[in-house]
Amino acid sequence: MVIGGLQKLSLIDYPAKVAAVVFTQGCLFRCPYCHNPELVPLKQDSYISEDDVLRFLNGQRNFIDGVCITGGEPTLHHDLPDFIKKIKSMNLLVKLDTNGINPNMVEKMIAADLLDYIAMDVKHRWEKYDCVAHTGNETALENCKKTFYLIQSSGVDHEFRTTVFPAEHAEEDFFTIAGYLLPGEKYYIQDIRYGKNLNKHLDKTKELNVSKIAATLRSKYPRVQVDVR
Ligand code: SF4
């Protein structure tokens, strides 16, 4: 594991849980609005060693409920399942944040009962996915779709979420994405955070009303749990 950061305590990254947050280094997507741009490059040097993270978590295990593993993209690290096994041996819950790029690993981790909660970013409706993800790679989209359907059928508590990116999204795109969800599933739409972004020259002239989109989604898809973050 190449670890890019550790947040010792969070009340917001794992729903209804007190958690530590481990940030992995490296991502193959290039979402222009990414607000952790320092975690995007694939590097070999860790900000903090895996052993030090595990030692810290072990010391905290009576004070936190679990660990949120986010990125970057955690599933790029072949040893992620082993890392999670070590965390679970401390009786801590594990939430995985993923962009969906590695369905094989997600499938194995679900089968091995390593994940207690999964949050997947759905960057755009499938037809326009690369307008946000910027991978230039058809396989990446196919992988994201596979992961999406795997999560839906996993039985693991989960959520899908989309960051609203007015430069690329239109209101109707969220109706399309929400249409992918099954009754009872959670869908969060997140307002874009301008400031520290991967693309330093984002077009900030366009706007979308996130609350209005959420209200329309709720009336159109009353069986999906829509919320704003
Ligand atoms: S926002 Fe996009 S570029 Fe940034 S870590 Fe997530 S998937 Fe990667």
DSSP string, 46-61: -SS-HHHHHHHHHHHT
Tokens encoding 146 = 């596979």
The answer to whether 38 and 2 are in contact (CB under 8 A) is no
Q: Report the Cα–Cα distance between both ends of the chain, in Å, rounded.
A: 29
Give backbone dihedrals phi and psi of 158, rounded to 5 degrees, phi first: -155, 170
Q: What is the pLDDT of residues 15-41, one digit of tens each?
A: 999 999 999 999 999 999 999 999 999
| Residue 226: how many other CB atoms lie within 10 Å | 22
CB 96 near ligand 1, within 6 Å: no
- What is the Å distance from ligand 1's center to 88 Cα? 26
What integer best gives the mean pLDDT of the chain? 97
CB 30 near ligand 1, within 6 Å: yes
Pairing of strands 93-98, 117-121: parallel
pTM for the predicted model, two decimal places: 0.97
The DSSP bridge partners found for residue 97 are 119
Ligand 1 atom with minimal separation from the 27 CA: 8
Q: Residue 8 — pLDDT band, cuts 50, 70, 90? A: very high
- What is the Å distance from ligand 1's center to 132 Cα? 10
Question: What residues contact residue 156 under an 8 Å CB cut-off, 6+ apart?
Answer: 110, 115, 116, 117, 118
CB 29 near ligand 1, within 6 Å: yes
Closest Cα to atom 2 of ligand 1: 31
Ligand 1 atom with minimal separation from the 36 CA: 4
**CATH architecture of the region 3-228:** Alpha-Beta Barrel (3.20)
Q: What angle do CA 193, 199, 202 make, to 5 degrees?
A: 65
- What is the Å distance from ligand 1's center to 59 Cα? 30
Q: Ligand 1, residues 75, 99, 199: which to mutate, most atoms within 8 A of Cβ?
A: 99
CB 26 near ligand 1, within 6 Å: no
Q: What is the pLDDT of residues 68-105, one digit of tens each?
A: 999 999 999 999 999 999 999 999 999 999 999 999 99
Q: State percent of the chain over pLDDT 90.
A: 98
The answer to whether 191 and 210 are in contact (CB under 8 A) is yes
Q: What is the pLDDT of residues 205-216, one digit of tens each?
A: 999 999 999 999
The answer to whether 47 and 4 are in contact (CB under 8 A) is yes
Q: What is the pLDDT of residues 163-181, one digit of tens each?
A: 999 999 999 999 999 999 9
Domain ranges for the chain, please list them. Answer: 3-228
- What is the Å distance from ligand 1's center to 72 Cα? 6
Closest Cα to atom 1 of ligand 1: 34
